[in-house]
Amino acid sequence: MRKAVRHPAGKRPRLAVVVPVYGNEGSLPELYRRITAAVVGCGVELVLQFVNDRSPDGSQAVLERLAASDARVRVLLLSRNHGSFTAIAAGLAQVADCDAAVILSADLQDPPEMLPEMLASWRSGKKVVLCARRRREDPGVSKFLAQAFHTLYRKLVMPEMPPGGFDFCLIDRCVVRVILQSSEKKTSLIGLIVWAGFDRAILEYDRAERVHGHSMWTFGKKLSYAFHSVVAFSSFPLRIFVLLGLLMSILSAIGIAYVVVASLLGFISTPGWPSVIVLELVIVSVLFLGFGIVGGYLWNNLEQTRKRPLFIVDKSIGRKPSSSSHSCTRRRRPGCS
């Protein structure tokens, strides 16, 4: 059983709540009230890190008023719109000295009231606490497509992913360091968190209907996110081409044998037709195999260039971890056992 997180006597752990902001002017005051109310009595030092991803509305003015009235509030304004993944990464970089970080959307669809339960799981020794959606109040088509994507993603890419996916989570500072070490731009944050491993707890909740504003996630953005979520963690699309190439090669060999035998037995009387068919079958099979082989080389190159750690050490007893690994015990800090 994993040892619970302990802190020096009299010292409260620092909890950061990272909130990316884009088009959330209407929900920010209520979000602030609910977050600050949720952590009362939890025995933590709160750092509320908002990241304005160059929101076109009046979000910045609201955030500045909150920061002026509460020293726990920090505001980071990006130079331009980078997207939610980059905004969250920028926020995590600002709070890397905290003991744990919560990633929370600003649209109030994810309940801040779950923070005490998430903290309890973290204090019990879980370094990743995922809040999985049990039910979501989204439009019918959007809900169906999301469920279909998460089902396929679990089966083909990442079986460890919660069935309904997640956006709301708590991660230990060890996991924060792993994410910040990643130099990838086109990837999935939730994929990185699950890929990193560590002991996880999964809490379920019902996702609320959006009340303030409207979602900025267009169908094109969702499609792009789904594509990058797959190719960042799975070579499955490339394997399809390899399998198709092998299948086409087998079918081509059968087809060539049939054409040759049929020509010799006189069943094919059209001049030149057998040679054309044989040539086409050979070209198609070679093309599919070639795509698969080239794709394999590209995948290997991608694995090298994105420079993820070869392995991540959770704990080391009796000997120093290899310098080529990422270790959570490299620098001993409160909240990192």
Tens digit of pLDDT for each residue in 152-177? 777 777 777 777 777 889 999 988 98
Q: Could you give the CA distance from residue 23 to residue 128 in angstroms, rounded to a whole number?
A: 28
Strand partners, 167: none
Whole-number pLDDT of residue 6: 53
Helix (H) or strand (E) holding 320: none
Q: Give backbone dihedrals phi and psi of 278, rounded to 5 degrees, phi first.
A: -60, -45
Tens digit of pLDDT for each residue in 107-117? 888 899 999 99
Tens digit of pLDDT for each residue in 241-284? 777 777 877 877 787 787 777 777 777 666 667 677 777 877 87
Residue 118 has pLDDT above 80, yes or no: yes
Tens digit of pLDDT for each residue in 39-50? 998 889 999 999
Tens digit of pLDDT for each residue in 215-247? 666 666 667 767 766 776 777 777 777 777 778
DSSP H helix total and E strand total for the chain? 10, 9
pTM: 0.70
Q: Give the model's confidence band at 331: pLDDT under 50 very low, under 70 low, under 90 confident, else very high.
A: very low
Q: How large is the angle between the packed helices 28-38 and 115-123, nearest 10 degrees? A: 40
In 224-262, which positions are buried (b, 16+ CB within 10 angstroms) versus exposed (e)? ebbebbbbbbbbeebeebbebbeebbeebeebbeebeee
Q: Give the model's confidence band at 67: pLDDT under 50 very low, under 70 low, under 90 confident, else very high.
A: very high
Q: Could you give the CA distance from residue 64 to residue 73 in angstroms, rounded to a whole number?
A: 9
Percent of the chain clearing pLDDT 70 (strictly above): 73
Residue type at 12? R
281 within 8 A of 245, measured Cβ to Cβ: no
Query: Between residues 133 and 7, which one has the greater pLDDT?
Result: 133
Q: Is the dihedral angle over the CA atoms 214, 218, 224, 230 positive or is it negative?
A: positive
